[in-house]
Chains A and B, each alone.
Chain A
Amino acid sequence: MSTAAVTRSAAPPRVDGVAAYAPGRPPSLWWAVGGWIAVPFLTAALARDRFILTTLAAAAVQGLFAVGWVLLAVTGQPSLGHALPYGAGAYAAAFVARRAGLHGGDLGGWVPVVLTAAAAIAGGCFGGLQGRLTRRLAPAFVAVVTLATVEAARSLATMWTVPVLRGSGDTDTAIPLPTFPNDDRAAAWLAAAAFASGVLVVAALVRSRTGVALRAAAGGERDAEALGFDAPRLRLFAFIAAGTIAGIAGALAAQLSGHASPLMLSWQASLFAPAAALIGGAATVAGPAAAAYAGAGAAQFFEIPAAVQLLVFAGVLVAAGLRDPQHLFGPAFSWNPRPAERTGDPRPGRSRPIVPWEDA
């Protein structure tokens, strides 16, 4: 290599008379994101059977729940307690509905919006709590502490339903809240819209400048700080954003089913999101979203017992850990678990330098 002079200027730098630009960057994967958000709408439009419509709605809500976890994966935080903001959202919606005595037609029909907003706030707060607790922890300890928080919350949720705490003789563990929407087809469309919005928001965030910062925060705190990023704050932001999305998913799940229950804080719910990310590919947004949608839909359609689902999710995590433990709990857990060499795009007219967010 020569020591040819390089100068700062507005024009592209040149070394030895040759423009220092490579042929082009790999093609964008927005088509994958677009394709997957179209699937729930198509299936909702084509489905005729009530059971299928209910299944599709549940699958879309679970997909929304799982896609928020991608933000944690991007920042290298393998949370095993993503069910905490999910359950918190469901319980917040139930709590608000119960305390305010709200019913379906109250507030001019805005009850679902109010409940979902309350759930989003609760999800963000509980996500933030997890982020605060794990602020300076190594990835393996993030997994342990977040799992502990969701287990603690499940115990509290179960205790909330016993008579001494709730002041009633009802021993049912579920907390009822107004069902919305009452029509199965509308429910499938609503869930599909929520899922699509979640995928688009997360994909846009990951591809944005903030996404670059979030990925940098996953690569080690010292390195991120040396680049100018406030890594602990970025990680906390990821927990709050992921928690908000999970909270909304929890409120939707509770309103579709008409109740919030401690099952929403179960191990099965906790392991679902990371398992979907590992199956779909944690380096992408569309992959985990697709895996979660397909997995939840299959589980609902075939009525797979919760214990069997938990076994499958645990098996996925164990297999991933045995395959490459560093990438399960290491800083690159989130971003490209299996590095694949990407080559330049040979298409003509792509020779100018492109920054990632421009491709979107």
Chain B
Amino acid sequence: MKNPGDGAAPLLRLDGVRVRAEGAWPVREFTIGVAPGEALGVLGPRSSGKTALLDVVSGFLRPERGRIALCGEDITGWAPHRIARAGVARSFQTPPFLDGTMIDDAVVAAAIGRGFSARRTRDAVALGLAITGLAPKRYRTGAALEPPEQRLLTLARVAAAEPRLALIDEPLAGLAPEAAGLVVSALRRLHQIGTALIVTAHDAASLRVVCSRVVVMRDGRVVGPHA
């Protein structure tokens, strides 16, 4: 398989990564590379290991075997917050509970978590809100957002971290087609500004709009590129 991440300096490289969690092997002998600015889609049925793959890259799962490198630096076993500060942003399938938090504050937290200065935080927050179209609601609380807008808020936080690599878990799960279109548009804008993406989904059609390459996972392994 031709792999854009196999070049001289891939942004992310997983070599023979194997993860054991809760008595199972959600990721087995996983080898893949992601090039800078690439958008990689990961397709697969439920329990195929898609979320576990994102967990292992973002440090929430520790690989039992194998090596993970970000820009050539070995990040295997790093704590999640350290990986996030190195430029890997992560969104979860279930949006965080932010009902009582002002949207602006929630996005500011992402930029501060990345360690940005006050000036850069201001710009990063504006960027995150612009990408997702949430700027008009920035001074409302999370409780004022509809479910699709809550997904956009998680993407705004990812964008405000100005990551080198964004790991987006099931961004379209449970959304109606129109709402999914909003999220896809935000993902495309995030990709347009040069952010590399790994996006997981059940549905190939939505991934193809955003991702230049789609691989299929089953039982913790890549079983091939999606046709």
Contact = CB atoms under 8 A, between A and B. Distances in A.
A7 B127 CA distance: 8
B141 A341 contact: yes
A343 B137 CA distance: 8
A151 interface: no
A6 interface: yes
A169 to B, nearest CB: 56
Interface residues of B, number: 59
Contact of B109 (A25, A215, A337, A358): A215
A216 B141 contact: no
A222 B131 CA distance: 24
Residue among B108, B118, B125 facing the most chain A CB atoms (10 A cut-off): B108
Given A6-B192, A226-B92, A13 B130 contact: yes
A209 interface: yes
A21 B80 CA distance: 31
Interface string A339-360: 1111111000000011111100
A229 B81 contact: yes
A260 to B, nearest CB: 38
A227 B143 contact: no
A352 to B, nearest CB: 8
Contact of A1 (B80, B104, B112, B185): B185
A263 interface: no
A334 B131 CA distance: 30
Interface in A67-97: none
B71 interface: no
A222 B92 contact: yes
Interface string A215-227: 1100110111111
B130 A219 contact: no
Contact of A228 (B85, B125, B136): B85
Contacts of A223: 92, 96
Contact of B101 (A13, A209, A215): A215
A15 B140 CA distance: 20
A14 B127 CA distance: 9
Contacts of B110: 227-228
A164 interface: no
A358 B222 CA distance: 48
Contact of B97 (A6, A219, A354): A219
Nearest to A223: B96
A36 to B, nearest CB: 22
B100 A22 contact: no
A6 B193 contact: yes
B140 A343 contact: yes
A47 B218 CA distance: 77
Contacts of A322: none
A358 to B, nearest CB: 7
Contacts of B84: 225-228
Nearest to B141: A339
A336 to B, nearest CB: 3
A356 B112 CA distance: 12
A22 B137 contact: yes
Given A5-B189, A225-B84, A20 B129 contact: yes
B128 to A, nearest CB: 9
B150 interface: no
Given A3-B188, A6-B189, A355 B108 contact: yes
Contact of B161 (A227, A230, A339, A341): A227
A212 B109 contact: yes
A226 B80 CA distance: 6
A2 B189 CA distance: 10
Interface in B98-113: 98-102, 104-105, 108-110, 112-113
A348 B112 CA distance: 28
A80 B98 CA distance: 25
Contact of B125 (A5, A336, A355): A355
A66 to B, nearest CB: 21
Q: Name the residue in B98, B110, B112 with the highest tally of chain A Cβ atoms < 10 Å from its Cβ.
A: B112
A341 B138 CA distance: 11
A360 to B, nearest CB: 12
A23 B137 CA distance: 10
Nearest to A357: B118
Interface of A: 1-3, 5-8, 10, 12-15, 20-26, 209, 212-213, 215-216, 219-220, 222-231, 283, 330-332, 335-345, 353-358
24 contacts: A8-B127, A8-B162, A12-B123, A24-B139, A209-B118, A212-B112, A215-B101, A215-B105, A219-B96, A219-B97, A223-B96, A224-B81, A225-B59, A225-B84, A226-B90, A227-B81, A228-B84, A228-B85, A229-B113, A335-B101, A342-B140, A353-B126, A355-B118, A356-B105
Interface of B: 58-60, 79-81, 84-85, 89-92, 96-102, 104-105, 108-110, 112-115, 118, 121-123, 125-127, 129-131, 133, 135-144, 157, 161-162, 182, 185, 188-189, 192-194
User: What are the 4 closest A-B residue pairs judged by CB atoms, nearest first?
Assistant: A336-B100, A228-B113, A227-B113, A20-B130
